[in-house]
Amino acid sequence: MAPALALVLAVTLAFFATIASVGILRRTAPWLGLLDHPGGRKQHEISTPVVGGLAMSVGLFAAWLLVPGVRPPIAWMGGVFLFFALGAIDDRAHLRAGPKFLFQAFISAAVVVSSGVSLQALGEIIPGWAPDLGWLAVPFSVFAIVSVMNA
């Protein structure tokens, strides 16, 4: 299968698997204890299912497992699974921010180091200047992953 076709198929499958998963998981959220209740900082008026991350994980794994040619390195798959598990635990047990950040940083570092994939440069952020991260590539990559997850 052509790489472009595999990518289109994977994105389409992930999208529809995520949509289907949201429908199923919303109904099972109370039974699974995956509800966000009103109060404190919460602005909603009724209990709300917190199953979006779980549904996206289902879609992503469906695409990885069912579409040939789109499977990433095993370190990435393991990292996504660990992030999914951490998110599910947080949704259920409401982890404190400090320990959650530490787990996210540890998982990110493990994925970056074991896969050998990191942000090596920032591109030309100022015309005529494209900084190379050098030895900061791994810590910057970990920082970027944790930042995106908590944005």
Domain residues of the chain, as ranges? 1-71, 73-151
Contact present, 22 and 52 (Cβ < 8 Å): yes
> Residue 45 has what pLDDT?
78
Give me the phi and psi of 35, to 5 degrees please: -125, 145
pLDDT at 93 over 90: no
* Interhelix angle 52-66/74-93, nearest 10 degrees: 160
Assign 10 a pLDDT band (cuts: 50, 70, 90): very high
Compute CA distances 21 → 57, 95, 104, 107, 148, whole Å.
Answer: 9, 24, 24, 25, 23
Assign 121 a pLDDT band (cuts: 50, 70, 90): very high
Work out the average pLDDT over 58-82: 89
Global pTM reads 0.77
> Residue 91 has what pLDDT?
81
| Better-scored residue on pLDDT, 75 or 43 | 75
Assign 92 a pLDDT band (cuts: 50, 70, 90): confident
Per-residue pLDDT of 13-62, as tens digits, reads: 999 999 999 999 999 999 988 887 887 777 777 888 888 888 999 999 99
pLDDT at 126 over 80: yes
CB atoms near residue 7 (< 10 Å): 15
For the chain, give the mean pLDDT. 90
Two tokens at 69?
């040619």
| Better-scored residue on pLDDT, 136 or 77 | 136
